[in-house]
């Protein structure tokens, strides 16, 4: 059954664009074709939705990695770089204030 589910996901529906409603329709079609038992509908829908969620998370990781690599390659500052500079600036301001007060 998982092989059928995988094939269904990759057959043009696109993992990221699957909604529960579309998955229900897909599983209904598989039931009509005799590829999924009617009693297995809930499990089939859950399996597909779990697979979709996993694929979305993996895609998000790959996108973030690619974006971070692109940012690094052009030498742009990341949010972490900016946060670190803000922290250092605050520390310097505090030291300067102490020096003026003391």
- pLDDT, tens digit (0-9, with 9 covering 90-100), for 44-93: 889 888 888 888 788 788 888 888 888 888 888 888 889 999 999 999 99
Domain spans, the chain: 2-77
CB 67 within 8 A of CB 61: no
Provide the H-helix boundaries in the chain.
2-8, 20-32, 41-74, 79-101
Phi, psi of 25 (to 5 degrees): -65, -40
More confident call, 39 vs 18: 39
Residues 6+ apart with CB under 8 A from 11: none
CA distances from residue 38 to 29, 30, 33, 34, 43 in whole angstroms, order as listed: 11, 9, 11, 9, 10
- pLDDT score of 4 more than 80: no
Predicted TM-score (pTM) of the model is 0.53
């Amino acid at each position: 059954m998982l092989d059928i589910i995988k094939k269904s996901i990759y057959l043009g529906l696109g993992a990221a664009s699957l909604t529960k409603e579309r998955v229900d329709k897909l599983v209904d079609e598989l039931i009509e074709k005799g590829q999924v038992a009617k009693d297995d509908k809930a499990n089939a829908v859950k399996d597909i939705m779990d697979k979709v969620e996993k694929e979305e998370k993996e895609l998000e990781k790959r996108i973030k990695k690619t974006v971070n690599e692109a940012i690094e390659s052009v030498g742009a500052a990341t949010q972490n770089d900016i946060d670190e500079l803000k922290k250092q600036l605050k520390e310097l301001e505090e030291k300067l204030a102490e020096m003026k007060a003391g």
